[in-house]
Amino acid sequence: MQSRPHNMKLTSTQLDDYELALDRIPAFPVVYRDPSDFLYETTGRILRGRSLVGRFKFYYVDFAAALNAQCSAHDVLDSYAQTEEFADSVIGDGDQYCSRRLNQLLQGDVHEMNVLIIDRLEIQPAFRGGGVGLFVIRKLIERFSSGAGVIALKAFPLQFEVDRAKKADPWSQRMALASFPLQKRSASAALRRYYGRLGFIAMPRTDFMFMSSTARLPSVEELLNQSA
């Protein structure tokens, strides 16, 4: 997930110009063939008029369908490295669809077994600030969390990722991650506070944050007031 934006004010008029566009969804099998069939990856673009503001990626983990097909919850999350790292926090050592630690964190407010994982959010420098990322995540939750009991994300600043190939590609260069703070502890804490504005709760001793799908999302007006 992207680091906390710079301090700029976003107005409701400006927000009206933003849109989300999904990338092409690949074909999927009619019948179960592999655990990854229950893990739906979706990518998309954040647009403002003709300008590309940023990109996002999320996974919808369909534990309910996997259970019906007698497919292990661990096998489903193991399908991708990005989702496998959530396994200990989400399902724990066993094969339950909500670990005891996650249930305690959300105070038992988990009523569906599916999970929406917000995997990646990247905002270009010219559009950072004012909480654009928060409004994007809010819309993704509104649009795609149906049937999910939990929404999850990893609050890990992108500037600390180690991937030389990514740093060399044109998109990563446009992201200008070197402009972000280089103190990992303070950057991570700021990121947790940032996503906490939406209602996400940090799981102790991890980089992960969670919220129940039944939790009230702050309104657009409330988020705008917070960033004012």
- Give the CATH number for residue 23: 3.40.630
On whether residue 4 sits in a domain, the answer given is: no
- The answer to the question of residue 1 being in a domain is no
Could you tell me where the DSSP H helices lie in 145-183?
164-168, 170-175
Domain that residue 58 falls in: 12-227
Q: What is the pTM of this model?
A: 0.88
pLDDT on residue 160: 54
Evaluate whether residue 172 is within a structural domain.
yes
Give the pLDDT confidence score for residue 96 in this predicted structure: 75
CA distance 5 to 194: 9
| Bridge partners, residue 44, by sequence | 22, 56
Q: What is the pLDDT of residue 8?
A: 58
Residue range 55-77: mean pLDDT, rounded = 95
Q: For residue 5, is it within any domain?
A: no
The reply to whether 179 falls in a domain is yes
Amino acid at 56: F
Q: Is 6 domain-assigned? A: no
At 125-150, the pLDDT tens digits run 888 877 899 999 999 999 999 999 99
pLDDT at 183 over 80: no
Our CA dihedral for 196, 187, 81, 153, rounded to 10 degrees, sits at 10
45: left (phi over 0), alpha (psi -120 to 50) or beta: beta
Domain membership flag for residue 219: yes
Flag the least confident range among 10-24, 67-81, 192-206: 10-24
pLDDT in tens, 37-56: 999 999 999 999 999 999 99
Asked if residue 2 is part of any domain, the answer here is: no
Average pLDDT rounded to a whole number, residues 17-24: 95
Domain count, the chain: 1
List the one residue out of 138, 126, 136, 140 whose CA is nearest residue 42. Answer: 140
